[in-house]
Amino acid sequence: MIETLSEARTAGWRITARCAAGKPERGSRRECHYSEELDLDTLIWTRGGPFPLSELPLRMVCPRCRSRKVVLIFQSTAVSKRAS
């Protein structure tokens, strides 16, 4: 089970942050749905390799609308090998 930032990087994971319920923009009724892939190396430099993935959403703030309602999407980039 992968529980820390360094384990996620070693496993080849990608993490995308997405604003879940931002404030409506001025003059519009649309909510903010900004998303961005997070750089694991930068997260490890700033939070440390042993930083738990479970605490990461608590530290996120949408840069566009300043909402703290952020969802993280974890994706494995590992490619399964076929038997020849």
pLDDT in tens, 62-72: 998 888 989 99
Chain centre distance of CA 71: 7
pLDDT in tens, 22-72: 556 565 556 788 999 999 999 999 999 999 999 999 999 999 888 898 999
Q: Would you list the DSSP string of 6-31?
A: HHHHHTTEEEEEEESSPPPPTT--PP
- How far, in Å, CA of 71 to CA of 35, rounded? 9
Q: What is the pTM assigned to this prediction?
A: 0.76
* 8 Å CB contact between 67 and 19: yes
Q: Domain-by-domain residue ranges, the chain? A: 5-76
